[in-house]
Amino acid sequence: MGIVKPAGQILVQEMRRAIDRLCGCVLPIFDVNERREAELLGSGVLVEISGSTFLCTAKHVIDHSAASDLYISGPDKLGSRS
């Protein structure tokens, strides 16, 4: 028979695991300033639903995207998400 753990301890462990998984999903979102330098604008999460990819982010990031392209960090470069 295994060790019985208190429900609160199990809950905290599961929450930590969920947070660790989510931390790897959050992507920084950049804009390019007038000097053509990357400038951090916010963060977001890419979600795939039925083969389509959506960016979930804050309203100020979406509002800013109307005026310029957004860039998210990829494996080795910044990619445009206009």
**Domain for residue 70, yes or no?**
yes
pTM beyond 0.75: no
* Residue-range definition of the domain harbouring residue 45: 26-80
Q: Per the structure, how many domains does the chain have?
A: 1
**Domain for residue 68, yes or no?**
yes
CA distances from 37 to 13, 33, 48, 78 (A): 41, 6, 29, 12
**Domain for residue 8, yes or no?**
no
**Domain for residue 4, yes or no?**
no
Task: Per-residue pLDDT tens, the chain, 82 aa: give them.
Answer: 678 888 999 999 999 988 887 777 788 999 888 898 888 999 998 888 898 888 889 998 888 877 778 888 754 445 555 4
Q: What is the 3-state secondary structure (H, E, C) of the chain?
A: CCCCCCHHHHHHHHHHHHHHHHHCCEEEEEEECCCCCEEEEEEEEEEEECCEEEEEECHHHHHHHCCCCCEEECCCCEEECC
**Domain for residue 46, yes or no?**
yes
